[in-house]
Amino acid sequence: MEGTCSGRYGFIVCITHIENVSEGIITDDGTARAKFAVEYDCVAYRPFKNEVLDAVVTQVNKFGFFAEAGPLQLFVSNSLVPDDVKYVTDENCYKSDDGQITIGVDCEVRVKIVGMRIDANDIFCIATIKEDYLGLIGYAEGDAAVGAV
Amino acid sequence: MSGLACLKKSQTEDEDAQELKLGPDFSDAQCLSISEVRLVMEAMIYDYNNRNEDASSTNTQVFEKTLKYVQRFGGNVSQEAVQLIRDMLTKQNGLHTFEAAVVSNLRPVDYDEAKTLVPSLEAEGRASEEQIQRMLDEMANVRRFE
């Protein structure tokens, strides 16, 4: 179970406690295996729409950038990046007009989830940094706000 | 199959973190902050190492990626401080565990930032601006004296 991902519960990170294991039922598929229903507590990692979280940029291109928050993959399209922050081909990063913000691979960004694609065993999120207090972390002095101006 | 797909879709459409709608499966789940998850995961690794058991359950890609993430963003906060922050946010200030987790993860510095990142804090009948500001200051203080 651990390490799996379902659309319903998200990523099962680790099982912390097993509550109850039912009596086994021998399967009738001729393999002599048995099935058990197990109740357990676990740490699940599940994103929600409109949730704000921190992520690490993994890949940048002219259409936007990909970021990762643990096992979760996120994509921020260039239309969801503030208007004054543009893609710079030579450096393969997003840069603000005043040069203060540079978003490249391995940068930490604060994003808000705007959409999710939920498959049976995968979750992929579309996120934005085009709102107040989102964007590159550690830009503003003493706190993590970018859009605070 | 299409019935199932419909069910799934309507389920996720009902979800909205802004309004604390986490769907039926998570409505009574406890939400943990990144620091709390870090403590749980490190305790698990410690247990496995001590018992010399087969550590297959900590050997998954999801576990490793999550561990890396919580170590990067969880900060170096002791168990006592994590407990203190949790009690302060949920018991003293009446935050939902989801709000408490997000506030503790994102560490807003003022009321304006807090209500922008966690809009449900602003809903009617919730804590006042002063109370939330005091709560944020207190949280920053606990972290500072770590």
pLDDT digits (tens, 9 = 90+) for A52-74: 999 999 999 999 999 999 999 99
Query: How far is it, in rounded angstroms, from Cα B135 to Cα B146?
Result: 17
Look at A36-50, B1-15, B70-84, B115-129 and tell me which has the smallest mean pLDDT: B1-15
Which option is the CATH number for B79-144: 1.10.10.10, 3.40.50.1980, 1.20.1250.40, 3.40.50.280?
A: 1.20.1250.40
> Are residues B117 and A12, on separate chains, in Cβ contact within 8 Å?
no
pLDDT, average across residues A21-49: 92
- State the pLDDT at residue A139: 62
Look at A40-54, A124-138, B54-68, B91-105 and tell me which has the smallest mean pLDDT: B54-68
Q: Which residue of B has its CA nearest to A55?
A: B69
Q: What is the pLDDT of residues A4-20, one digit of tens each?
A: 998 889 999 999 999 99
Nearest to B8 by CA among A70, A116, A76: A116
Show the domains of chain A with their CATH numbers.
5-45 (no CATH), 52-138 (2.40.50.140)
pLDDT interval class at B9 (50, 70, 90): low
Pick from B8, B10, B57, B62 the residue to mutate for testing the A interface (most A CBs within 10 Å): B62
Of A3, A8, A132, the CB nearest to B62: A3
Q: Is B61 on the interface with A (CB under 8 A)?
A: yes
> Are residues A43 and B41, on separate chains, in Cβ contact within 8 Å?
yes
> Are residues A54 and B106, on separate chains, in Cβ contact within 8 Å?
yes
Q: Is B42 on the interface with A (CB under 8 A)?
A: no
Residue pair A113/A51 in contact by the 8 Å Cβ criterion:
yes
Please give the torsion angle defined by the CA atoms of residues A70, A80, A52 and B105, in that order, rounded to the nearest 10 degrees.
60
pLDDT, average across residues B91-114: 94
Domain with CATH 1.20.1250.40 in chain B: 79-144
> Are residues B15 and A71, on separate chains, in Cβ contact within 8 Å?
no
